[in-house]
Every structure is written in structure tokens, then in C-alpha cells.
Amino acid sequence: MAGIDLPVLPEMANLWQQTLNWQPNTQQQRQFQQLYEQVLEGNRRLNLTRIKDTLEFWEKHLWDSIRAVAPLRQTSLPQQVIDIGTGGGFPGVPIAIARPNWTVCLLDSTQKKIIFLKTLVAALGIDNASTLCDRAEQLGQHRHHREHYDIALIRAVGSASICAEYTLPLVKIGGLAVLYRGQWTASDTQALDSIVEKLGGKVELVTRFTTPVSQSVRHCLYLRKVTPTLAAYPRSTGVPAQQPL
């Protein structure tokens, strides 16, 4: 950005390679840097993130976003992906950069964030991401989007029950909802099991991991869509959050 001396993100090539068996090429590294600069700039007008430090941005926004999809079998095949409640573009934008053959729809209910992301995606030359301003509850009932996606991602949008109700109706049979969580216990899984079943899914896998710089504990929930979701779900706007399943 002209006139402003912004810090440069660390490359962390070895850490990417050791932890995810992948590392960004020169173009991807440049896009990560542009993403960092644009998010910091956007933060002046919009509440996008509290993270400004380069290393923390690398770990919590870049590494954490991509880590959840790194173990997926279908990682090299084209996938239709939706990121629900993407905010400043996480995890969807780093994933669109890291997986150029995937198509990522960035969904948020806040118009200003979507306008920001539309400009960002164009400025970074990301041609495999689109933006959409809507509520997950509305989109889940839309015939062009319902049961359309191979993968639905959701991070920091609400409780696991709310996230399951937002994601699973959008996922096609055989596809996955990926819920990014912080702390998680076996009894949380037990409580979620019947809710996921109600929505046409099953809890296929829960992974626990520590982030590579600050060693923070994180979990990822992988919900497989096994049967069509009943027409009643997702419920109307606001209901999943006010009366969680």
C-alpha cells in the first residue's frame, strides 16, 4: 500500500511443510501478504479481526484456516465450497488461495463485509472465489444452494448446534460440514450426535491439534451428510440461534 510501511508476513516454509505437507508458492505468498494488508486496512472501517501481529495473523488466520482442509481425501479434486459467516474472509480466502482448483463461495449477512471481500478478491486476482450477502438460514432454503456444496466451512459463528443447522442443509449427500472449534470434549460430541442426525448427518471425525506457534489447543469437527435434511431445517432467520436444537 503506497505510503504505509506495513510489516511483511513470515514465510514459514518449513513449518507449512512439516505440519501440512504443503507450502505456498511465490504467488500464493504474495496473495497472503496482500490479504494481510487489505484486512488491516479494512479494519479501520470494519470490525474484521483483532489480530494485527504478523506471526499471529499467520497462525490464527492463514495456518488455522488451511489446516482444517489439509487432511481431506478430496484435497486435490475440484470441490464446491461455502464459507458461512466468513467475516474478513476466514477460513474461505486462505483456502481459495491454497486450493486454486476449488470454488469458494464467501457468505456473510453483513453487506459491508461482503463489499470489502468483493474488492479484496478482485484486487488479489482470486478467480475461484465469489461473494454472497445473505443469512445462512435463507440460503439453506434456496433451491440453488440447498444440498449443493461438497464442503461447508464455519468458524466463530456460534455454538456447534447452530453451526450444524447452518451448514448441513447446504451440503450435498456424501459431502462434509467442517466446524472449527476451540475447546471440545467427548461429552460435547455426545450432545451433538443426535442434533447432527436430525439434520441428516453424522459426526464422522473430531480432531484435536495444537497450533504450531502458540501451541493453542483447537478442534475440528467433520460432519458427513448421509441423508437429505428435512425441509424444516434450517429454521427461519434467528431461530437456530434463539432456540438451538
Question: What residues make contact with ligand SAM under the rule CB under 6 A?
Answer: 84-88, 90, 107-110, 113, 135-137, 155-157
Instruction: State in angstroms the smallest separation of the CB of 104 from ligand SAM.
Output: 13
The residue ranges of DSSP E strands in 63-182, in sequence order, are 80-84, 103-108, 129-133, 149-155, 171-181
Instruction: State in angstroms the smallest separation of the CB of 137 from ligand SAM.
Output: 6
Burial degree of 245 (CB within 10 A; 0-12, 13-18, 19+): middle
Instruction: State in angstroms the smallest separation of the CB of 168 from ligand SAM.
Output: 14
Closest CA to 211 of 89, 63, 94: 63
* Cβ proximity to ligand SAM, 158 vs 226, nearer residue: 158
Residue 51 phi, psi dihedral angles, 5° rounding? -85, 120
Is the preceding omega at residue 91 within 30 degrees of 0, hence cis?
yes
DSSP single-letter state for residue 230: P
* Cβ proximity to ligand SAM, 85 vs 201, nearer residue: 85
* Cβ proximity to ligand SAM, 226 vs 239, nearer residue: 239
Q: Which residues of 196-218 are buried (b: 16+ CB within 10 A; e: fewer)?
A: bebbbbebeebeeeeebeeeeeb
* Cβ proximity to ligand SAM, 202 vs 237, nearer residue: 237
DSSP single-letter state for residue 229: P
Instruction: State in angstroms the smallest separation of the CB of 2 from ligand SAM.
Output: 27
* Cβ proximity to ligand SAM, 114 vs 192, nearer residue: 114
Instruction: State in angstroms the smallest separation of the CB of 88 from ligand SAM.
Output: 6
